[in-house]
Amino acid sequence: MEKNQQELFEYARKRVKQKKRVYLHFILFFVSSIFFYIINKILDVDPQDDWYLWAITAWAFIFILHFMKIFVVESFINKAWERDQIEMLVARQERRIDQLEKKYEKENPSTPTSTL
């Protein structure tokens, strides 16, 4: 496999693994929510407080953050975006170095500059 195909395969494998974890997180959240309800209401473990609602709400918030990270954020901030950002920053640094070299040459016309 050539390097580009290997990179695409690794990225796809990583994304599948991330999505699998989100689905497992949802299943665990759903089953645990039912379990919390059963413990609180049916088994009468502190039934007057409805503590299960707080536990389910907190876990739902965490699940929503996990879901958004995988399906929203990483869908547009991916390898291609990262590569574009690196190229843009490198180009900006090169332009700045060129500007500094030109400025130095104007201020010191008799001194030759060496490039690294």
Nearest partner of 62 among 28, 19, 35, judged by Cα: 28
How does the average pLDDT of the chain come out, rounded?
88
pLDDT digits (tens, 9 = 90+) for 8-43: 898 889 999 999 999 999 999 999 999 999 888 888
Q: What is the pTM of this model?
A: 0.65
The yes-or-no verdict on residue 77 having pLDDT over 90 is: no
Per-residue pLDDT, 23: 97
| CB-count exposure of residue 1 (10 Å: 0-12, 13-18, 19+) | exposed
**pLDDT in the model for residue 56:** 95
Longest CA pairwise span in the chain (Å): 90
